[in-house]
Amino acid sequence: MSKIPDLSFWKLWNISFGFFGVQIAYALQSANISRIFSTLGADPHDLSYFWILPPLAGIIVQPIIGAMSDRTWTRFGRRIPYLFVGALFAVAVMCLLPNAGSFGMSVGAAMIFGLISLMFLDTSINMAMQPFKMMVGDMVNEKQKGLAYSIQSFLCNAGSLAGYLFPFIFAAIGISNIAPKGVIPDSVIYSFYIGAIILILCVIYTSAKVKEYPPKLYAEYHGIKEDKKEEKTNMLQLLIKAPAAFWTVGLVQFFCWAAFMFMWTYTNGTVAANVFDAPATLSTSGAMVIDTASSQYQTAGDWVGILFAVQAVGSVIWATIIPQFKSLKVAYVVSLLLGAAGFISILFIHDQYTLFASFLLIGCAWAAMLALPFTILTNALTGSHMGTYLGLFNGSICVPQIVAASLGGLLLKMFTTEGSIPPEVNMLVLAGVFLIIGACCVGVIKEGKGK
């Protein structure tokens, strides 16, 4: 078996550069979905249900993209065609989603339009995102995978930083941050437009710069014999044969991604109520909710983008520290515990700037979640069925989000007392508890091939 050669830093950079644009799209979605649907008129208890669609799309799309790209060989590559098509669809939907309240539709119709747009947006983002992880597994040797995923983590956080800041920046330069009831502010709409432009430019750059290995050379580098190349992919059989790292890392992933689903869903309401004192109003059902048409709520929405940007900065800083740990497991545990402290501290903070400390700590957990699981998993895999396994492993990201989104509304109702607004901050404390449980599960992870 031939060894995959070392790649220069810039070749490793080019493989992942398009991820910067994809992550801008993902950050805009993560930071603004609750804001968009709350503005359209969604009840806080129902917010988590809107978040079921993104991971549901991921758990369906990513294994399919992985399995299809494993069998795809074109003059453009095997993974690149999928990321390019996914990016094109994402660009189109990014121009539609924030306009859900601008077409004169009723509240119900606007929400249905928004839901359909969200479903297509997340499907296309998933289609564009997964090939970048697969290309690292395909083209980078084991020695350089840690560096390659660190570069990807850096670009991911840089893209997140840009996406999170766009609404705040546009509001700061004078673009309207408020709008009539049920209409998304221009500061958010323009953020999606700019994000769409950057996404397609970044994907074009990676598509032009990266040349994937041809079939014969790929087989030589990954020790794939002729009979294996002809083997049909059976996802159930692959799951049965999956290395222990696949399942043990997945257990940790469950608690981590459930925690971050709560963060994306409930940070807007938490910051609006606990920091900016957004006024309460009666919903159509007669329950007390935050007035999403108020300037305090929309200002809080912009500030959430700042907080998520601070999280991204914390993640970038912590990503440079993680390699200093001699043990990946120790790095994983410390990172998750720091993130847990960040989530739980939000309960006690009512100053917008002090929240920076909380979100810097949350960024430590995010840095570990982006880099360590894929480093551990790809080191345990051979080149055969790499894409399919990475697509299936996405289930450890999507399933916990679906569970958290399905149960979030019920849990929030348990915390809500009659006549008061829902205490969304309690859901962030619960996120901290989940990260502590995840840290306790790190000890069961099995590293290495054949383990």
437: in domain: yes
Report residue 210 as tokens: 């990266």
* DSSP-derived secondary structure letter, 180: S
Which residue type is seen at 182? G
Neighbours of 10 (CB within 10 A): 10
Tell me how far CA of residue 433 lies from CA of 30, 211, 378, 436, 437, in angstroms: 21, 44, 28, 5, 6
Only one residue has tokens 């758990």, namely 59
The pLDDT of residue 382: 67
3-state secondary structure of 225: coil
The pLDDT of residue 243: 81
Would you say the C-alpha torsion 154, 157, 162, 165 has a positive or negative sign?
Answer: negative
Contact call for residues 331 and 322 (beta carbons, < 8 A): yes
Chain-centroid distance, C-alpha 159: 11
Contact call for residues 183 and 101 (beta carbons, < 8 A): yes
Contact call for residues 63 and 385 (beta carbons, < 8 A): no
The pLDDT of residue 206: 92
The pLDDT of residue 195: 94
3-state secondary structure of 231: coil
1: in domain: no
424: in domain: yes
The pLDDT of residue 376: 83
Domain count, the chain: 1
* DSSP-derived secondary structure letter, 77: B
The pLDDT of residue 60: 80
Contact call for residues 393 and 302 (beta carbons, < 8 A): no
Cα separation, 132 vs 12, whole angstroms: 11
Cα separation, 150 vs 112, whole angstroms: 38
451: in domain: no
Indicate which CATH number applies to the domain containing 270: 1.20.1250.20
Domain that holds residue 316: 9-444
* DSSP-derived secondary structure letter, 3: P
450: in domain: no
Neighbours of 8 (CB within 10 A): 8
Of 416, 259, 435, nearest to 334 by C-alpha is 435
Over the stretch 123-152, which tens digit does the pLDDT of each residue have?
Answer: 888 788 878 888 887 898 878 887 887 788
| Helix 395-415 vs helix 53-70: crossing angle, to nearest 10 | 180
Tell me how far CA of residue 96 lies from CA of 39, 176, 278, in angstroms: 16, 19, 28
Neighbours of 9 (CB within 10 A): 11
Tell me how far CA of residue 291 lies from CA of 42, 169, 295, 307, 409, in angstroms: 11, 23, 9, 21, 19
Which residue type is seen at 240? I
Only one residue has tokens 């032009």, namely 208
Contact call for residues 269 and 121 (beta carbons, < 8 A): no
Cα separation, 7 vs 4, whole angstroms: 9
368: in domain: yes
The pLDDT of residue 446: 83
Along the 451 residues of the chain, how does pLDDT read in single tens digits?
Answer: 578 889 999 999 999 999 899 999 988 988 788 788 888 887 777 777 877 877 777 778 778 887 888 788 888 888 899 889 999 999 999 998 888 877 777 778 888 888 888 888 888 887 888 788 888 878 988 788 878 877 888 888 889 888 888 988 998 999 988 878 778 889 999 999 999 999 999 999 999 999 988 888 888 887 777 555 445 556 778 878 888 888 999 999 999 999 999 999 899 889 999 999 888 887 766 678 888 778 898 889 889 989 998 998 999 899 888 888 888 899 999 999 999 999 999 999 999 999 999 999 999 999 999 888 887 887 777 656 767 787 788 788 889 989 998 999 899 989 988 878 888 999 999 999 999 999 999 999 887 665 5
Dump the DSSP string for 171-206.
Answer: HHTT-----STTS--HHHHHHHHHHHHHHHHHHHHH
* DSSP-derived secondary structure letter, 317: H
Phi, psi at 358, each rounded to 5°: -60, -45
Report residue 308 as tokens: 């998520």
